[in-house]
Amino acid sequence: MGLLQQRSISTNKQIKSKSMEVVLTFINISGKQIVMRREFTDENHLTNFINYATKRYNYVFDEVWYKN
């Protein structure tokens, strides 16, 4: 069991070192398109940010483009 825990920790370190660069587009309440370029550590980080932006700024999520 100790090997499994150690293995998952090293896998997480490899994932964290690899970041994803994405371009996000949102639509604001006025209908204007908002474009953001950001780096995220993984898909969960990206999803959390999309949820945050839609709630905090009242944006509607449009699309995401992966750069790498």
| 31-50 pLDDT per residue, tens | 999 999 999 999 999 999 99
Q: Is residue 60 part of a domain?
A: yes
Distance CA(56)–CA(22), nearest Å, equals: 20
Q: Is residue 44 part of a domain?
A: yes
Residue 10's pLDDT band (cuts 50, 70, 90) = very low
- State the residue range of the domain holding 66: 21-68
Q: Is residue 35 part of a domain?
A: yes
Q: Is residue 29 part of a domain?
A: yes
Q: Is residue 25 part of a domain?
A: yes
Q: Is residue 2 part of a domain?
A: no
Q: How many domains does the chain have?
A: 1
Laid out side by side, the sheet with 33-40 consists of 33-40, 20-27, 60-66
Q: Is residue 28 part of a domain?
A: yes
Q: What is the pLDDT of residue 22?
A: 97
Mean pLDDT, all residues of the chain: 83
Q: Is residue 53 part of a domain?
A: yes
